[in-house]
């Protein structure tokens, strides 16, 4: 990968981070069945990162457990190193009704964008942990 491609990936991730910081966060901690998903403000642009060999970057949600390839940019650490929050895909229909299909978790990871050849952005979500009542 040439220097321009690396610079472009770093620039795009910085733009994603800036847009997330500018997003308006709704006051509720989860989107319920009575709330319209269309009206919900997304404060997170989920990203998937691809390595130069074409494989997607994955991180463990728990030691030796499930993995995820969806991330939220949390912090730009230096020019091309970022801290990302892991995003879990909810599989249970019961959980899906109580919250959104994707949920941010406590785990984070550090990614050197110089090792990334491609990234994919998804539609914004409201990245909050669901508080059960």
> Which residues constitute the domain of residue 81?
3-121
pLDDT digits (tens, 9 = 90+) for 40-80: 568 899 999 999 899 999 999 988 889 999 999 999 999 89
**Does a structural domain hold residue 32?**
yes
Task: Give the chain's domain count.
Answer: 1
For tokens 């249970």, name the residue. 92
**Does a structural domain hold residue 58?**
yes
CA dist 107 and 42 (Å) reads 20
**Does a structural domain hold residue 126?**
no
pLDDT digits (tens, 9 = 90+) for 79-110: 899 999 999 988 766 555 545 688 999 999 99
C-beta of residue 110 within 8 angstroms of C-beta of residue 81: yes
**Does a structural domain hold residue 87?**
yes
C-alpha dist (Å) from residue 14 to 77, 78, 88, 89, 132:
11, 10, 22, 24, 33
C-beta of residue 102 within 8 angstroms of C-beta of residue 89: yes
């Amino acid at each position: 990968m040439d220097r321009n491609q690396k610079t472009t990936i770093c620039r795009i991730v910085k733009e994603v981070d800036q847009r997330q910081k500018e997003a308006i966060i709704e006051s509720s901690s989860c989107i319920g069945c009575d709330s319209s998903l269309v009206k919900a403000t997304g404060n997170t642009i989920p990203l998937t990162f691809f390595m130069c060999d074409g494989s997607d970057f994955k991180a463990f949600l728990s030691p030796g457990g499930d993995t995820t390839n969806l991330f939220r940019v949390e912090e730009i650490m230096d020019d091309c190193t970022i801290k990302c929050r892991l995003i879990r895909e909810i599989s249970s229909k019961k959980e899906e009704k109580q919250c959104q299909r994707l949920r941010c978790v406590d785990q984070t990871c550090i990614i050197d964008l110089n090792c990334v050849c491609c990234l994919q952005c998804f539609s914004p979500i409201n990245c909050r942990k669901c508080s059960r009542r």
